[in-house]
Chains A and B, each alone.
Chain A
Amino acid sequence: MTDDTVTVFERSRPGRRAFTVPTTDVPEVPVEDLLPAEAIRETPAELPEITEPELVRHYTTLSSKNFHLDEGFYPLGSCTMKHNPKLHERVAALPGHARLHPLQDPDYAQGALELMWKLQVALGEIAGLPHVSLQPSAGSHGELAGLLLTRAYHEDRGEQRTKVLTPDTAHGTNPATVTMAGYEVVKVGTAEDGGVDVEDLRAKAGDDVACLMLTNPNTLGLFDRNIEEIAHIVHDAGATLYYDGANLNAVMGIARPGDMGFDIVHFNLHKTFTQPHGGGGPGAGPIACSDRIEPFLPIPQVVQAGDGFDLDFDRPKSIGKLRGFQGNFGVFVRSYAYICSLGGDGLKDVSEVAVLNANYLKALLAAPGIKEYLPIAFDRLCMHEFVVSGRGAKEKLGVRTLDVAKRMLDHDVHPPTVYFPLLVDEALMIEPTETETKERLDHFAEVVRAILDEAKDDPQVARTAPHTTPVRRLDEAGAAKRPVVRWRPAPDG
C-alpha cells in the first residue's frame, strides 16, 4: 500500500477504528424499540475502518501534493491570492467565536454582533455605500443577492424589467447569475482602450434593462475612465449599477464604488480581506448598497439597539433569507481582524502596492525576449492585474498558453489564470498582489524568460510539461466522458 493515490476507503481493514464512542449513560433500549422497522437502515454506510495514526498520515500525505500560497508565488488573476495572516486562525478559533451557536439569544452574543456591526461599518466606508448585509456565502451568492435586490427594487416601483447587461470581459459568474435571477443576458462590447464600449451601452440601455454588472477595474486590470458617463447612462435608463468586487483590491482608499455611482457592491472576503481560500472555500460575499436599495436587504440585519446590538427581522420589503443563520461568521472574524490590523492607511497601502507590483511585473514582462512572445494585451497603466496574450509564443515557438502555464509548475510557481478573459487570444491573467516582494516578482519574470528561452531550443519540453509534479497531464476529456465520481469496491471475485 505504498501508492499514495490510494483512497481512504481502500485503506480500510475490518475491525480498525480511530473513534471510541462516549459511554452510553442512558438505558440501552434496542434501536428496534425506538424506530419503526421501515425507517431503520439495513446496511451500514461503507465508511473506512482506519486507525488515527493511519488517518493522519493519509491526509498529511495528500496535503503534500497540493501547491499552496504559503509555499510560493500564486499570481492567479482575479483571485487575489494574498498572504493569509496567521493571527486570523488563532482569533477565529477562540471558543467565544468558534463554539457560539447561531441561535444564541442576542443578549448573549453581543461580542459577535458588535464584530459584525463594526465589519459592516468598515465595509460600507470602504465601498462608499452605507448599508451592508454580511449574509451571502461567496461572491457569486452576493451577485445573486444584488440581482434579487434589483428585482425587488423595480417591482416595488411597479416596473417589470427583463434584461441585465454584462460586458464581454465579465467573470463567468456574472452571466450565470443573471440567468439564475430570471433575467436575460445582454452583452456589452469592449472599446479599443479595454473599457466598456459606451456607444454600445447607450444603444442597449433601454427601459427593459434592470442592471449593468461591472467590475472596475475590469478583468483586464484596467480602470474604466468613463465610469461616470456609464453610471449616468445606466441610471437614466432606470437600471441599477452593480459592482463585482472581485477586483476591489486595486482601489481601497483611492476611489470608492459608491462615489463612482454604483448602487450595489459585493465584497469577496476570501480575496480582498484575507480569508484563506481553503482549496475552494469557504468564502463570504457581503454586499453594500445605497439608500434606495436598503429596504430590500436580506433578513436578519445586525442593528444597533440601545447600548448594544440586535438582529432585526422586521423588514417588510426584504428579499428574505439567502441562506441559514447570519452568514459565514468565522470569515467575518478574520476579515475584521485584518481591517483592525491595517486601518484606513494600511488598506490604502494595500491597493497602492498591489497596483505597483502589477505594473512592475508588467514592465518586467514587457522586456525584449518576453514581449515578442507574450505581448501585453492592453498596453497602458494597469491596476492590480494585467493580461498578456500567448499569441506570439503559439505562432513563433509552437507552445500554447497552456504549455507555458504547465511548465511553470516545474518551477514551483503557480501559473496565472489562463484563457480568461475570453476576448484576449491565449490569455494569461496575472495578479501578483501586494504581499509579494520585488524579489518574488523578479524571480517570476526570470521563470517566464527561462521557459520561453527553453522553448526556442526545444518546445517539446513545455508541450509535455509538467515533469516534476506528482502526476503529469491528466485525461480530462476521458474523465468527463465516463465520469467516475466516487470510489466503489471491486466486484467480488
Chain B
Amino acid sequence: MSRYTGVTDEDLRAMLGAIGVDSLEGLFADIPESVRLGREIDLPPGRSEQEVYEHLAALARRNRSAEEEITFLGAGMYDNYVPALIDTLLSRSEFLTPYTPYQPEISQGGLQVMFEFQTAISELTGLPVSNASVYEGPSAVAAAGYLAKLETKRKRLVASRGLHPHSRAALATHAAGYGMEVVETPLDEEGYTDAEALAAAVDDDTAAVFVQQPNFLGTVEDLGALVEAGKRTGALLVCAADPIPLSILKPPGELGVDICVGEGQTLGNRLDFGGPSFGFFAADERFIRKMPGRIAGETRDVDGRRGFVLTLQTREQHIRREKATHNICTAQALNALAGVVYLSWLGKRGFVELGELLLRRTHYARETLGLAAINPGPVVREFAVRVPDLDAVVARARDAGINPGYRLGRDYPEYPDGLLIAVTERRTKDHIDRLAEVVGAAKPAEVGV
C-alpha cells in the first residue's frame, strides 16, 4: 500500500472474491509471460513526503532563478510579476483538478472562464474569434500553418527572420509532417522585416506569411506594410504577438492580419523554466470552423438559463478523427485562466499603463546603455545591441549578480556580438543603471587593448 492507495488486507480478500480470482497476479493472466518484466522497476525506493520535499528543494537551490539575480533575459519568456490573487485562485481544487469540461452542467465555471478568456484575447488582437488556448507560442505558429494549409491547399510558408527562432523551428518541424516548405526572409539593416524581400518571396503557392510584433529583436514592425506585402497573392497573414505590448500597439486584426497567435506566459504565468504557459490563437470569423482546439460558446439550458458549452466540436479529434482540423486535445486551460485573471486584474487602464511603462523603460535602457543598436528604431519590451568583448561583459555582469540578456549569436550568426536585452515591470531604473555600470566598465578596458 502506498500513501495514495488504500487496499487493506480485508479489502483485497473481498475484492478478489468478488472478481473470482485468487491473487493480484491472477488479474494479469492476459499478459504473456514472455513480455513480463519479471523484476522490480529499477528506481530508488519510495520516500516520505518530507524527504521528497527536501530532495526537490535541494535541486531547486542549484538553479539561479530570477529571485536571485537581476535578469534581463527574455527572448520569448519574461520575468513578470504574477499577482498574489492568481496563486490563490489557481490553487483552488475547483480549477486545478477537473478534467476537460465534457459534462457542461457541472463545468460551468471552467467553461465561462474559457468564454471570458476568448473575449479578452479577441480584444487584445482585434480579431473576432479566439480559441480557449493551445500549448504555447511556437507550436501555435505551427498550428496556424496547418490552418493555412487546410484553407488554401497551397504548399509554401514564408516566415520573416523576425519571427522567434523557436517559432520558425517548430513551424519547420510540423510542416515537414504536413508536407509544406518553409522559406525565410531577412531582416533589413535596422532590424525590421525587409518588406520588399518579403513581397518577393510570396508567390501563388504561398499559403501563409509569418511575422512577429514586436519582432524577436523587439522592433515595432510596420505591420500594415507587411500585411500589404504578404497578402498580395492571397496568402494568409499570420502575426505572432507578445500580448503585453498589444496594450499600446495597434491590434493586428485592425491592420488586416488574418490569424494572430502568441505565447501567453507574460499574462500571469510563471517562467517555470519554459512551461507550462499557454498559447493563444485568434482569427478572422471566416476561419471559425477550421480553428484548432477547444472553443467555448454561450447558449441556454432547457429552462432558458444562460450557460456555456464547448462548441463547434465537429472540428475536433474526438468527433472528426482523421478529418479533424488539428489533433490537439489537452491544452492549457489552467494557464489560460491565469491569463484572463491577470488581464482583468490589470484592467482597461492598467493594461495601458503597464504597456507605457515598459515602452519608456525599454527606451530608457537603450539610451542609458549607450551601445550600438542593432535595431535603432522604435522598440518595446526588448532591444538588441552589439557588445564589444561580449564574453567579458557577460562574465562581469554575472559577477555583479546581473544576467545581462540573451546572446543572439546562436540563432543569428549575423549578430555574433549581439545581446538581446529584455525589460519587464520588475526591472527598475536602478536595475538598468546597474547594468549600464557593468557595461560601461568595459569601455576603459577596451581602450587599453
Contact = CB atoms under 8 A, between A and B. Distances in A.
Nearest to A116: B273
A185 B327 CA distance: 14
A49 B380 CA distance: 25
B36 interface: yes
Interface string A455-493: 000000000101001111111101110011111000000
Given A41-B250, A47-B120, A108-B64, A89 B46 contact: no
A16 B55 CA distance: 45
Contacts of B120: 45, 47
B5 A173 contact: no
Contacts of A152: 176
A144 interface: yes
B124 interface: yes
Given A140-B327, A279-B333, A480 B297 contact: yes
A248 interface: no
A324 B167 contact: yes
B305 A471 contact: yes
Contacts of B303: 471-472
Nearest to B318: A172
B327 A143 contact: yes
A74 B99 contact: yes
Interface string A320-333: 11111111111101
Q: Top 7 nearest A-B pairs by Cβ distance?
A: A96-B60, A325-B274, A278-B334, A102-B274, A111-B62, A282-B276, A280-B333
20 contacts: A7-B119, A36-B220, A44-B351, A45-B120, A60-B92, A67-B106, A81-B99, A94-B60, A95-B66, A96-B57, A97-B272, A125-B42, A137-B135, A138-B329, A175-B322, A175-B324, A341-B2, A381-B30, A437-B7, A473-B105
A250 B307 CA distance: 37
A45 B41 contact: no
Given A44-B247, A277-B330, A327-B275, A148 B177 contact: yes
Contacts of A383: 30
Given A281-B333, A324-B76, A473-B302, A341 B136 contact: no
Contacts of A68: 93-98
A237 interface: no
Contacts of A20: 350
A481 B249 CA distance: 34
Interface of A is mostly: loop
Given A16-B347, A347-B41, A41 B249 contact: yes
B444 interface: no
B312 A483 contact: yes
Contacts of B169: 320-321
B425 A110 contact: no
Interface string A280-294: 111110000000000
Contacts of B133: 280-281
B35 interface: yes
Interface in A385-439: 405-406, 409, 414-415, 417, 420, 434-435, 437-438
B95 A471 contact: no
A239 to B, nearest CB: 17
Given A47-B123, A178-B322, A363-B20, A99 B67 contact: yes
A320 B272 contact: no
B40 A176 contact: no
Interface size classification for chain B: 35 or more
B278 to A, nearest CB: 8
A67 B309 CA distance: 15
A25 B108 contact: no
Contact of A480 (B96, B130, B313): B313
Contacts of A22: 357, 425, 428
Nearest to A417: B102
A478 B402 CA distance: 56
Interface string A156-194: 000000000000000111011111111001000000000
Given A278-B333, A280-B333, A470-B105, 10 more contacts: A35-B359, A36-B220, A138-B329, A176-B320, A179-B323, A270-B330, A324-B274, A330-B270, A342-B46, A343-B47
A38 B274 contact: no
Given A325-B77, A483-B297, A343 B45 contact: yes
A67 B311 CA distance: 20
Interface in B46-87: 46-47, 49, 52-53, 55-67, 71, 73, 75-77, 79, 83, 85, 87
B272 to A, nearest CB: 4
Interface residues of A, number: 206
Interface stretch (B110-118, B200-208, B385-393): B110-118
A450 interface: no
A62 B110 CA distance: 7
A35 B307 CA distance: 42
A44 to B, nearest CB: 5
B337 interface: yes
Contacts of A355: 24, 27-28
Contacts of B357: 21-22, 24
Contact of B37 (A67, A148, A256, A279): A256
B124 A45 contact: yes
Of B313, B326, B344, most A-chain CB atoms within 10 Å: B344
B286 interface: no
A366 B114 CA distance: 39
A41 B129 CA distance: 20
